[in-house]
């Protein structure tokens, strides 16, 4: 068992190193990567902090490190036409309008839409823009998080950018304030309960009589990266869960249907 765990750790470390190296190359180019390889290896030696609980890469943290160390150059040699493809995985119409508003807030108005199409569950938006600087990916990431979206993948090939955005939680308008409250009671849910939390070690969730709740509880950090997932495929009346460090949001849902929570729940914290 110990040999298995050691082998698993070595494989994970090797894969994560390769993933970060590949992503950095995709963002800054192979030439600049070769020039700054020693610095890049030093900056990203603590690989774990760039991955969330589910093993996904945090692009916000990655880009932040690159920008702080002047490793990602967004300035262009005069006006240049750049091509962008944005891919959304949920609520396409709302997500497209949201992204257009974000681009406008970042000073990007004069883009020309080339194509909008559905591809399975995804929406693809292709446009070109004539500009003297590429869209700032760190600012884009920060603005997306404000609307409960996050960058899932990002690639740059010459003047072509492809950015995938996870918009699954974009329907969260305002999370319930569980920071200034010690106890909250929720009625029949219209969608999953989404709570903003701080300075809590333990959360207790009480399912009211008449429910058939099968828990699906997710803890997120301030970038909406998953810190911990708790699932239980049994009817549950009460849960007492430890809150992971750096938790900023909690999603409380049912594994199968919100109808299983129709009588509501009570949440307290310690």
DSSP the chain: -HHHHHHHHHHHHHHHHHHHHHHHHHHH-HHHHHHTHHHHHHHTS-GGGGB-TTS-B-HHHHHHHHHHTT----EEEEEEEEEEEEEE-S-HHHHHHHHHHHHHHTT---EEEEEEEEETTEEEEEEEEEEEE---HHHHHHHHHHTT-EEEEEEEETTEEEEEEE-TTTT-SS-EE-SS-SEEEE-S-SS-EEEE--S-SEEEEEEPTT----EEEEEE-TT--EEEEEE--S--SEEEEEPPTT--EEEEEESS-GGGGTT-EEEEE-
pLDDT, position 269: 94
**Which tokens hold the place of 69?**
């160390």
Contacts of 2 (CB under 8 A, 6+ apart): none
Q: Which parts of 69-175 fold into alpha helices (H)?
A: 92-105, 137-146
Task: Classify domain 75-166 by CATH architecture.
Answer: 2-Layer Sandwich (3.30)
Q: Is the CB of residue 195 less than 8 Å from the CB of residue 169?
A: no
Q: How confident is the model at residue 168 (pLDDT cuts 50, 70, 90)?
A: confident
69 has pLDDT over 90: yes
- CATH number belonging to the domain at 176-269, selected among 1.10.1200, 2.60.120, 3.90.1570, 2.70.98: 2.60.120
Q: What does the domain layout of the chain look like in residue ranges? A: 2-68, 75-166, 176-269
Lowest average pLDDT, out of 85-94, 122-131, 132-141, 226-235, goes to 85-94
**How does pLDDT run across 111-158, given as a tens digit for each residue?**
999 999 988 888 999 999 999 999 999 999 999 998 889 999 999 999
Q: How confident is the model at residue 211 (pLDDT cuts 50, 70, 90)?
A: very high
75-166 and 176-269: same fold? no
**Which tokens hold the place of 102?**
């974000």
């Amino acid at each position: 068992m110990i040999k298995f765990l050691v082998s698993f750790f070595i494989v994970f470390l090797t894969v994560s190193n390769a993933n970060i190296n590949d992503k950095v190359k995709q963002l800054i180019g192979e030439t600049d990567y070769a020039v700054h390889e020693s610095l890049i290896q030093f900056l990203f030696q603590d690989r774990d902090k760039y991955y969330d609980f589910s093993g996904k890469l945090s692009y916000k943290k990655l880009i932040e490190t690159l920008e702080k160390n002047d490793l990602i150059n967004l300035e262009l040699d005069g006006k240049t036409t750049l091509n962008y493809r944005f891919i959304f995985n949920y609520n396409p119409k709302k997500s497209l309008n949201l992204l257009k508003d974000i681009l406008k807030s970042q000073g990007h108005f004069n883009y020309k839409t080339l194509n909008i199409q559905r591809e399975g569950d995804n929406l693809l938006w292709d446009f070109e823009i004539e500009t003297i600087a590429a869209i700032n990916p760190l600012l884009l990431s920060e603005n997306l998080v404000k609307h409960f979206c996050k960058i899932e993948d990002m690639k740059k090939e010459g003047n072509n950018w492809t950015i995938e955005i996870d918009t699954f939680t974009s329907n969260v308008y305002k999370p319930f304030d569980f920071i200034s409250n010690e106890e909250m009671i929720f009625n029949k849910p219209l969608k999953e309960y989404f709570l903003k939390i701080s300075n809590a070690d333990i959360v207790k969730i009480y399912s009211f009589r008449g429910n058939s709740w099968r828990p699906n509880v997710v803890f997120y950090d301030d970038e909406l990266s998953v810190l911990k997932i708790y699932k239980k495929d049994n009817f549950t009346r009460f849960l007492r869960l430890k809150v992971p460090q750096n938790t900023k949001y909690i999603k409380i849902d049912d594994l199968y249907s919100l109808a299983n929570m129709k009588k509501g729940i009570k949440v307290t914290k310690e």
